[in-house]
Structure formats: C-alpha cells, structure tokens
Amino acid sequence: MAEARAQEAQLKPGAIGFVDAVVIGLASTSPAYSLAAIIGAVTALAGVNAPGILIASFVPMALIATAFLYLNRVDPDCGTTFSWVTRALGPWFGWIGGWAIMMTGVLIVGSLADVGIRFGLYGFGELLGSDSLVEAGDNAWIRIPLAVALVLLMTWICVLGTDVSARLQNVLILIQVVSLLVFAAVAIYRAVDGDSPLDEITPSLGWLNPFGAGGAALSSGLLLGVFAYWGWESAVNLSEETTDGDKTPGRAALLSTVMLLVTYVSVAIAVVAFAGTQWLDDNAGEEEFVFAYLASEVLGGFDWILLLSVSTAAIASTQTTILPASRTGLSMARRGAIPRPIGRIHPTHRTPDVSTWTVAAIAIVWYVGMYQVSENALFDSLTALALLIAFYYALTGIACAVYYRKHLTESARNLVLIGIAPVVGAVLLLWLLVLSVRDMADPDNSYSGQSWLGVGPPLVIGVAVFLAGVVFMVVWRVQDRRYWDERPSLPDPDVVHGLKAPRPDPDGLEG
C-alpha cells in the first residue's frame, strides 16, 4: 500500500512563490563563494577592467535566460534542459543534456560543503578569537567528515520539502548579500578616502569597459565569469512546485541574473579600488586567501562578517545545487531514460527522495575520492565544470530556437527573444567551450600542474564524465528503449499564444 501511494504521489504544487524562486536562483550561484573563487584571477587577467569582464560574462547568461523563460512557458517540466532538448532535438541530445546537469551537481556539491565548513571555522574563529578553530579550517581531516555531514544534512532538508528548503534559503541569502554589500560599501569608501593599507585606486567608469584589457583577457575572463553566474536557472527546475509554474520560474531566473550582475560588479569595483591590481595579480592563485585577507583589512575586527558570508553562501549552494540535479534525475526516470525507481516521489514530503539521496551519495563518493588523490585534483574537477555548463546552456539555447521555429516569424519580438538571442548565447558558449578545451589541454593551466594522458587533468575529467554518460545511455537503451522511441515535436500553438495553460506531460507522450 505504501508503495502504491508513493507511485501516485506528485511533486507538491505551489510549494514556493516568486520571491522564493528568486532566492533559490541567487543561492544556487553562491555569490560570495563565486566571487572568492574568481575575483583574484579575473583581476590578474583584466586589471582594473575586471568589473567590465563580469558585465560581459552576464551577456551570454542573459541570452540563455530568455531560452529558459520561453521554454518553461510551454513545457514547465522539472527536467528543464533534458525535457526541452528531447522535444526539440530528440532523445539522444536530450539524455546527454540531462546527464550534464546531474553531473555538475555531483562534481561540486562536496566542494561547496568543504568551503562552507572551512570559512565557517575561519569566521567563528575570528569572532571568538580562537586560533584553534582557524587552524581546524586548514585541517582536511577535520573538514572532510564535517563536509560529508553537511551534505547529508542539506540533502535531508531537500527531502523534507521544497518549502522548507526555501525558508532556509531566504535567511542564508539575506546574510550573504547584505554582508557583500556592506563589504563593498566600506571598501569603496576607504579606497576613495585613501585609507587602504594596500595600493588603492580611485574607481572610474572606464573600469566597466570589458575590452579595455584586450581580447585575450576578455576571452579567458569570460570562462571564469560563466562559472560565477552558473546556477541561476535552479528556480526553473522547481517549476512543478512553484505557483504559476509556467511563468514564475522563468521570470525569477531573469531577475536573479540581474541581481547577480549588480552584486558582482559592485564587489569587483570595491576589491580593485581597495587592493589595487598589483596585489590582486600577485595573489591570483590564492582564491580563498584573497577574500579572507581582504575581509580582515577592510572590516578590521568585523572580518568574521564576510568570512561567515562566504560560509553561508557555500552552505546555501550545497543545498540548492542538489535541487536541480535531483529534479533532472526525477524527470529522466519518469520518462524511462534512467531506471524508473530513481523517480520515486516521497508520499508524505512529495519530493524526489530517491533521486535526491542518489545525487548526494555519488557527490560524497566523488568528493572523498578526489580528495584522496589530492586537494588540487579536487580543484581540477571543479575546473571541468566549465565544459558541462557551457554544453548544456548552449544546447538549451539551440533547442529554444528549434522548438519554436514555426513561431519565430510571427513578430519581431519572437524573432529576437526566442530565436536570435538564444542562438547568439549558444554560439558564445560554444566558443567558450572550445576555449576551455584548449586551455585545459595544457597541464600548466591545471591546479595540480600534472599531465594526465598527455593533457591537463580537468580535460580528462570532463571528457571522462561525458564518456561515462554515453556508456550509461547506450546500456540503458538496450535495457529499455521506450524513451528513445520519442520523436522531436512542436509546442501546442494555443499554449504558445497563451490561449491555454501547458498541460503536464511527465511521460513525454505528446507530439
């Protein structure tokens, strides 16, 4: 009886609203952590034009966000890219797009938890004046079990309910965004006042020019910027659990990208103005050190504010990164693209409990396993994320234009927003994908500096993830080919024109 109820259960509709969706989109990008990870490297590449690089990085994200907005309107499926690409381009492309989304979660969840623990220990150590807590933050044998426990806790909260997750995210995002803006305001004020202990620079509008540092700096900086913005679409994965799921998630995704733009550019201006380009260039390889040190210099005895902001950002993103990966797994399972038991929905909590725990378990194994190789190998696996991110974003942009192809010439708005914008965004991301492969092929560009199979470890990891997906896909097709019998289709014209709401089709049988 319990199994029958579980099979009949559906995701909880209306569990979150517009504000919750925006918060989840913001939290998934982990603003404080992302800035800590890239700001030194971006400044080393572009100097004072680092804020301009972050503006340029926003462009492909905004263009792809329009694809998510319009595809969600006609197919509010929690599988997002997997479902949309299947309908537009067929099951083979759809499957590998869904695999890429799931694997991004697997590759980064453990690392996010690790950063959350590390900066939490740093922050509380500074707040309480405890050197032992700060030292514990540098001890991997202390961090690893705590990080695993954090992943398990965040997974349990995800299973309890999307509404429970949203309430927690509302608190965490407020802490990190307010902390970042306080840091930015104080840093800019002290830089303008000439009160920085480093080599401060007076901010200028010219800093917003992404071309000021030259083409090579722009292309390399865009790769880092894509990582920083990645994750804003998580709200769309919760479309089946959101009020007005065919409209609200897409709008929330667009708004979250704009809010990220403002936050990132503000903090970038503050960091460059306060520290100067030379110091940032000298410390470009010390991502976490940069923010920890600047927190102390800018905020003095209140540096724990920014340290805990980075911690809460990573903890929040640990949870919200599990959400899209698990929903994609649910969507794939209920259409038979992967084993159907993975698509079980908890009869009480109405969340995809099996998919959620599966993603968490694989992520933990990956995190612990890579750490046994070396901490640098773990960082190399994060670098490989650029391949997966650029791939499934580009695939989504192409799918949007193809799926809506019969409606692109109905108006100039359709042609620009549904056709041209997503395709241009896809082309930019494919260009970045090629650049990523080129850069990752050089072992000197990896964290470890080692050569795996004659190339850099990130490229080996990225290609291995794709190949593992292809093998899994082929093996499962032999076992159950029902999903592969689906054929590309077109959206219902009445849904496109707003004459009726999209009807849920979790089994992909329409068209």
Residue 109, domain CATH: 1.20.1740.10
Question: The tokens 């306060």 sit on which residue?
Answer: 274
Neighbours of 227 (CB within 10 A): 21
CB half-sphere exposure, 238, CA atoms < 13 A: 38
Neighbours of 382 (CB within 10 A): 18
- Burial state string for 93-129 with b = 16 or more CB within 10 A and e = fewer than 16: bbbbbbbbbbbbbbbbbbbbbbbbbbbbbbbbbbbee
Is the torsion defined by CA of 228, 283, 106, 453 positive or negative? positive
337 found inside a domain: yes
* 3-state SS class at 204: coil
CB half-sphere exposure, 49, CA atoms < 13 A: 18
- Nearest Cα to 319, choosing from 24, 31, 18? 24
Q: Write the CA distances from 336 to 351, 360, 466, 473, integer angstroms.
A: 18, 21, 20, 11
508 found inside a domain: no
* 3-state SS class at 16: strand
Domains held by the chain: number: 1
pLDDT of residue 178: 83
292 found inside a domain: yes
Contacts of 480 (CB under 8 A, 6+ apart): 336
With a cut of 50, which residues of the chain have pLDDT below it? 1-8, 508-511
7 found inside a domain: no
- The encoded tokens of residue 205 equal 């509008």
* 3-state SS class at 10: coil
Per the structure, the complete domain to which residue 210 belongs is given by: 15-490
With contact defined as beta carbons under 8 Å apart, do 123 and 307 qualify? Answer: yes
With contact defined as beta carbons under 8 Å apart, do 274 and 198 qualify? Answer: yes
Q: What's the one-letter identity of residue 489?
A: S
228 found inside a domain: yes
Strands (E), 136-295: none
DSSP code per residue over 262-291: HHHHHHHHHHHHHH-HHHHHHTTT-HHHHH
With contact defined as beta carbons under 8 Å apart, do 186 and 380 qualify? Answer: no
Could you say which DSSP state residue 442 is in? S
pLDDT of residue 181: 85
Rounded to an integer, what distance in angstroms lies between the CA atom of residue 70 and that of residue 74?
7
With contact defined as beta carbons under 8 Å apart, do 112 and 378 qualify? Answer: no
With contact defined as beta carbons under 8 Å apart, do 277 and 269 qualify? Answer: no
Reported residue count of the chain is 511
503 found inside a domain: no
Q: Write the CA distances from 206 to 31, 38, 48, 196, 366, integer angstroms.
A: 24, 21, 8, 21, 43
270 found inside a domain: yes
Q: Which residues make beta-bridge pairs with 242?
A: 16
Q: Write the CA distances from 12 to 242, 281, 348, integer angstroms.
A: 9, 49, 10
Rounded to an integer, what distance in angstroms lies between the CA atom of residue 168 and that of residue 166?
5
Rounded to an integer, what distance in angstroms lies between the CA atom of residue 334 and that of residue 336?
5
Q: Which residues make beta-bridge pairs with 452?
A: 455
54 found inside a domain: yes
